[in-house]
Structure 1
Amino acid sequence: MAVMDVTTLQAYCLAKPGAWADNPWDHEHPVIKVGPGERGKIFAFLGAAKVGLKCGPSRDVADEWLLRYPDDATVTGYIGRSGWNDLAWGGEIPDEEILEAVDESYATVVAKLPKKIRPHGWAG
């Protein structure tokens, strides 16, 4: 895998079963959703130098990222209380851990989708 950047991360996210890009707020970078159309749920908020991910089922679990990487992990605005963090690349967080966090965010979001709309091929 190439050095982490938004293009590389977007391609990694979109390779997941049922993943698709959406831009509901007309930002520079899309959000990545899983699930069909209007029922799709966001699992990654892409930014120029960071990604917002569901980092645990609760704020307590997500807080472990903040303790391990205080300079590169922050609580995501508005939805942080639900276990979402922004993880910056190019700093202390190894690229492999960011990819693992993407995998976890995806799996957590897919597991909450109704079974009939979960994508085929996800490893749940």
Structure 2
Amino acid sequence: MQREELVAHCLAKPGAEETYPWGDAELVAKVGGKAFAFINLDGGTVGVKCGRDAAEAAEWRERHPGAIVASAYIGRYGWNAVDWTGPVADDEVRELVDASYDAIVAALPKARRPAAR
């Protein structure tokens, strides 16, 4: 997957916004003020919510050892860092981004959820 494709997929989500809280090296895609994807623009990884906790997220790490790892600091909350530059199929990367977005939207108060398109 190309970086532009990943960014476009994230930002095409209803209510998605592009932020750079730590400089130009990492794009954080948010919905309702909450992050659903941390895109490392230099390193080729995207951090996404892959489950309710580390145990659920571990299923993805077991399927793609080395290409999907627990995210630093937030891995215990179900976040994984996914190598989107080739080891993980493009459709699976999109699936993970979609699931992360859906999980974050579901946790938002109804007033902050984006309207469906």
The alignment's TM-score, normalised by the length of structure 1, stands at 0.88
1:115 maps to 110
- The percent identity for this pair of structures is 47
Gaps of 5+ in 2: none
2:66 maps to 71
Q: How many residues align?
A: 115
My pick for the range that moved more, 44-53 or 11-20, is 44-53
Gaps of 5+ in 1: none
The alignment's TM-score, normalised by the length of structure 2, stands at 0.93
For 1:80 and 1:90, the matched residues in 2 are separated by: 21
CA contact (8 A) 1:6 1:47 kept: no
2:16 maps to 19
1:106 maps to 101
Which of 39, 45, 57 pairs up with 2:38?
45
For 2:84 and 2:64, the matched residues in 1 are separated by: 11
For 1:89 and 1:30, the matched residues in 2 are separated by: 14
Once the two structures are superposed, residues 69-97 of structure 1 have per-residue CA deviations (whole angstroms, 9 ceiling, x without a partner) of: 00200110010100000010233311100
Q: Kindly provide the amino acid, as one letter, of the partner of residue 9 in structure 1.
A: L
**Shift of residue 117, structure 1, vs aligned partner:** 0.8
**Shift of residue 57, structure 1, vs aligned partner:** 1.2
**Structure 1 residue 81 corresponds to structure 2 residue 76:** yes
